[in-house]
Amino acid sequence: MPFDLSLIIRKAEKFGAKEAEAFLIRRRKMSSEIKGGEIDLSSTKLEEGVGLRVVLDKGRVGFSYSNDPSKQEELIKKSIKVARANEEDENWPSFPCCKNYRRVKNFYKEVVNMGSDEVVEMSKLMLDSAKLDERVQPFFGSSEVTYDFRELCNTQGIHVEEESTLLSLNLSTIARENGKVSPICFEYDVSRSKDVDPERVGREASEIALKCLEHSKIESGEKDVLFSQEALMMLWLFTISQGIKGDQVQRETSFLAGKIGEKVASEKVSLSDDGTLEGGVFSHSFDDEGVPCQKTEIISDGTLKGFIYDHYSARKEGKESTGNAWRGRDFFGEKLPYTSVPRVATTNLVLEKGRKSLDQLIDEIDEGVLVRSLQGAHSSDPESGSFSVVATPSFLIEKGEVKGLLRGIMLSGNAFSLLEKVRELSRETRTAYFLVAPWILFEDVRVIAKGSS
């Protein structure tokens, strides 16, 4: 007997729920993992489960989940039991109603049809091109294909479903020569379609590691710092992307609370959340509450315009949801979406590009740091935005040229106030997890180098 969402919500009503919402995900994942320079393990995973939210009188919400379709009635009873333990909530707005959906192109049949040989082949291609230089050891990586079927059904009349695909590659390398060891270097590619390039990933993961064998030095001080998309994503994951959440703003735990209409960034900064972005890794027709995805302006030419909301936080302010309710977006491990209630989260966070090329940006730097990635960004303070991180790998920029690796340097400051210190944005953009952005050049960033204070 398969899960039947319409039946589940009808039965929930029969058992005493005023409202109900059932969410199903069926996920098939195939991956080929690299460990210690060879293909170590290939796997397939099949998961299917349902998360059920029920609401009793006065906004008492309960949630329960299960992956056993033979126990659908138990699931309903459990979520009602949980709701009884919950407190009343005067702000409960009822589940969202049906809207018009615009289909986003996020499903590619060719990805579903990929066989295990093809997935393994991508790992091999990455390995082979990384190994072309014998100083390089590719040690961790994977090729992964995910197929998701999402279905959502609520008592307000929403019943929607969507298939999506995702293909992702990543490879980490280390280079060694004459006793010198590079830090871990990482390269990746990700796409909804088959448009990924394993050879490029392998080649670039290797080139960066080799570049790290040359060393440079810099003194502590306030410097020009050029962030890659990956480095910016890591910094923003724990700061900006938290501070733009409507619920954080309502709690006044966001630095941006109460600042709509104010200038919060350099005029060069325009930022939006776009769940409909073509080709976006986080693009969907609807979010995990069934609300259509949309493009939401956050910062326009440096002025704060708005925040992202789920249905609950939006209705609290008399606004409409921006389609930013997502499940299972946990930093720790792999959390299956049906095992969690929806929470406010970004889709594709898009930072508008600039006019100059990356080369021009570098050319105009007299002394600065190019940061590829960060370590310790999760220790940043999401409320205040203050951070203190290790920039690794990072490179010296001197008189318009990228020089050698800077070892053990730290950057510190505040992610929100850095927005005002944006000098330039490149015209080249790239996707790093939830962020689609150009290279970004900040001025006067505090750099702390070892051996000086």
Partner 1 sequence: MRDLLEKFMSIGTSLGAEYLDLRAQKIEKTEVLLKENKIEISTGILGGIGIRALVGGRWGFSSVTKLDSIESGIKEAISMARASGKKGSIDLEEVPTVEDSVTVGRKVDLDPRAVTPEEKVSVLGEMNNKLIGIQGVKAVTIEYLDVSGRQYFCNSEGSYIEEDKTYVWTKITAIGRKRDVIVTGREEIGTTSGFSEFLDKKDRAIEKLGNRIEMQLESKAPKGGEFPVVVGPELVGVLVHEALGHLAEADLTLSGSIIRPLLGKKIASSLINVYDDGTIEGAFGSFFYDDEGTPSQRTQLIKEGKLVSLMYDREHAMKFKRISEEEGIIDEFNTSPTGNARAESYSVPPIIRMSNTYVSKGDMSMEELLEGIKFGYYLVSFRGGQANLDGTFQVGVQEAYEISNGEISNPVRSVSISGNTLETLNRVEGVGEDFHLISGRCGKGQMAFVGSGGPHLKIGGILVGGA
Residues in 115-154 that interact with partner 1 by CB under 8 A: 115-117, 119-120, 124, 137, 139-140
| 222, β-bridge pairs | 446
Find out whether 107 and 191 touch, Cβ atoms under 8 Å.
no
| 422, β-bridge pairs | 442
User: Which residues in 405-434 contact partner 1 (CB under 8 A)?
Assistant: 407-408, 410, 412-414
User: Which residues in 79-118 contact partner 1 (CB under 8 A)?
Assistant: 79, 81-82, 84-87, 89, 115-117
* Surface-to-core class of residue 265, CB atoms within 10 Å of its CB (0-12 exposed, 13-18 middle, 19+ buried): buried
User: Which residues in 369-398 contact partner 1 (CB under 8 A)?
Assistant: 375-376, 378-384, 386-390, 392
CB 157 → partner 1: shortest distance, Å? 24
User: Which residues in 324-353 contact partner 1 (CB under 8 A)?
Assistant: 331-334, 339-341
Q: Which is nearer to partner 1, 82 or 358 (CB)?
A: 82
Name the 3-class secondary structure at 336.
Answer: coil
Interface residue with partner 1 among 253, 300, 303, 360 (CB under 8 A) is 253
Q: Report which residue type is found at 419.
A: L
Q: Do strands 19-35 and 136-154 pair parallel, antiparallel, or not at all (unpaired)?
A: antiparallel
Place of tokens 């499940």: 327
Interface residue with partner 1 among 174, 233, 308, 418 (CB under 8 A) is 174
| 245 makes contact with partner 1 (CB under 8 A) | no
CB 373 → partner 1: shortest distance, Å? 10
Q: Which is nearer to partner 1, 30 or 369 (CB)?
A: 30
Contacts with partner 1: how many residues (CB under 8 A)?
88
Alpha-helical regions (H) of 258-330: 311-316
Interface residue with partner 1 among 22, 111, 184, 240 (CB under 8 A) is 184
Interface residue with partner 1 among 193, 216, 220, 300 (CB under 8 A) is 220
User: Which residues in 263-322 contact partner 1 (CB under 8 A)?
Assistant: none
Name the 3-class secondary structure at 70.
Answer: helix
Query: What is the DSSP-derived secondary structure letter of residue 71?
Result: G
Interface residue with partner 1 among 22, 32, 349, 422 (CB under 8 A) is 32
Q: Which is nearer to partner 1, 86 or 300 (CB)?
A: 86
Taking CB under 8 A as the binding criterion, the range among 250-258, 278-286, 292-300, 427-435 that sits at the site for partner 1 is 250-258
Q: Which is nearer to partner 1, 33 or 443 (CB)?
A: 33
Please spell the DSSP secondary structure of 350-381, one letter per residue: EEPP-SB-HHHHHHT-SEEEEE--EESGGGS-
* Surface-to-core class of residue 204, CB atoms within 10 Å of its CB (0-12 exposed, 13-18 middle, 19+ buried): buried
Taking CB under 8 A as the binding criterion, the range among 151-159, 349-357, 404-412, 430-438 that sits at the site for partner 1 is 404-412
Token pair in block for residue 163: 């298939």
Cα separation of 80 and 63, whole Å?
8
Interface residue with partner 1 among 48, 162, 163, 443 (CB under 8 A) is 48
| 38 makes contact with partner 1 (CB under 8 A) | yes
CB 338 → partner 1: shortest distance, Å? 9
Taking CB under 8 A as the binding criterion, the range among 28-36, 158-166, 223-231, 289-297 that sits at the site for partner 1 is 28-36
Q: What is the distance in angstroms between the CA of the first residue and the CA of the last residue of the chain?
A: 67
Helices 72-85 and 5-14 pack at an angle, to 10 degrees, of: 50
- Phi and psi torsions of 401, nearest 5°: -130, 140
Q: Which is nearer to partner 1, 120 or 402 (CB)?
A: 120
CB 371 → partner 1: shortest distance, Å? 14
Name the 3-class secondary structure at 6.
Answer: helix
Find out whether 127 and 199 touch, Cβ atoms under 8 Å.
no
